[in-house]
Homo-oligomer: A and B are copies of this chain.
Amino acid sequence: MRLTATQLADFRTQGFLILPELFSRAEVDVLRAEAARLFAEDTPANIREKISGEVRTVMGLHLRSEVYARLCRHPRFVEPARQILGTDGLYIQQAKINAKVAFTGEAWQWHYDFATHHAEDGVPEPLALNLHVFLDDVTEHNGPLIFIRGSHLGGPVATALDTQTTSYALWTVDNETVAQLAKTGNLVTAAGPAGTALIFGDCLVHGSPPNMSPWGRSIFSVILNPIANAQTRFARPDFVHHRDFTPVVPLADDCLLTAPARVTT
């Protein structure tokens, strides 16, 4: 799979791409079935909401699941990432599902990914790409990602560590900066049916509101980073920021549908 010249130009100017139907219903069904199993596990790699105790993020996915190990190496993710970054030397920096349970899923503050990976893990440059696929239909009502279009264009903006708002410490962008960026770029809701994919860069400012709707929404995310740009500090657990710099090699296009059925013991 190759991005078109228009898609590449859009990515450069907007900072993101929304790719409807990148994954089929059958592929989403495989991912959803496997997600249910992973959410039920009792592990520190499952981060819980402060208030409700519901699982908010399931981390370290490619080490916990053959299906998600394959998804991280899916050619519909890896090939566009190689194309955008101009290198085949990419590794898996983070692989997770962010869930927002119906009625209770909490907000993600305004932030960009590089701020946290730079401050916490010493990633040198804002090169990594965040690749998502929706495991549920995502609408304006169930806590979608909101992108500030073009907010990456000036490079990394100032951030501060927020350990209070939610159960996951995050380097966030202040209100004044968000207001200034949104005035120029406006806000874009990243919505679409299950199977829709997103690609966005390490400096794109985004956030997401709480989910007050009766519909849960889970989104898979893999961050691919150039090996030459790997972390230089190793303080956080591996499931938050992986330290295996083996290059990702794309699998066959049908790799999700041929994944071996899990043997239940």
Q: Which residues of A contact B (CB under 8 A)?
A: 102-103, 107, 110, 139-141, 146, 175, 178-179, 182-183, 187, 189, 207, 209-210, 212-215
Question: Which of A175, A212, A215 counts the most chain B CB atoms within 10 A?
Answer: A212
> Are the CB atoms of A213 and B182 closer together than 8 Å?
yes
Copies of this polypeptide in the complex:
2
Cα distance, A178 to B110, chains bound together (Å): 29
Q: CB within 8 A of A214: which of B107, B183, B210, B213? A: B183
> Are the CB atoms of B187 and A141 closer together than 8 Å?
yes
Q: CB within 8 A of A107: which of B139, B187, B210? A: B210
> Are the CB atoms of A210 and B210 closer together than 8 Å?
yes
Measured CB to CB, the nearest residue on chain B to A191 is: B140
**Shortest Cβ distance from residue A185 to the other chain B in the assembled complex, whole angstroms:** 11
> Are the CB atoms of B189 and A140 closer together than 8 Å?
yes
Measured CB to CB, the nearest residue on chain B to A175 is: B103
Cα distance, A141 to B189, chains bound together (Å): 8
Cα distance, A107 to B210, chains bound together (Å): 10
Cα distance, A139 to B189, chains bound together (Å): 11
**Shortest Cβ distance from residue A107 to the other chain B in the assembled complex, whole angstroms:** 6
Q: CB within 8 A of A212: which of B102, B110, B189, B214? A: B110
> Are the CB atoms of B212 and A179 closer together than 8 Å?
no
Q: CB within 8 A of A209: which of B102, B183, B207, B210? A: B210
Residues of B within 8 A of A213 (CB): 182, 187
- 6 interchain pairs (CB within 8 A)? A102-B175, A103-B175, A110-B212, A140-B189, A207-B212, A209-B212
Measured CB to CB, the nearest residue on chain B to A211 is: B209
Measured CB to CB, the nearest residue on chain B to A186 is: B141
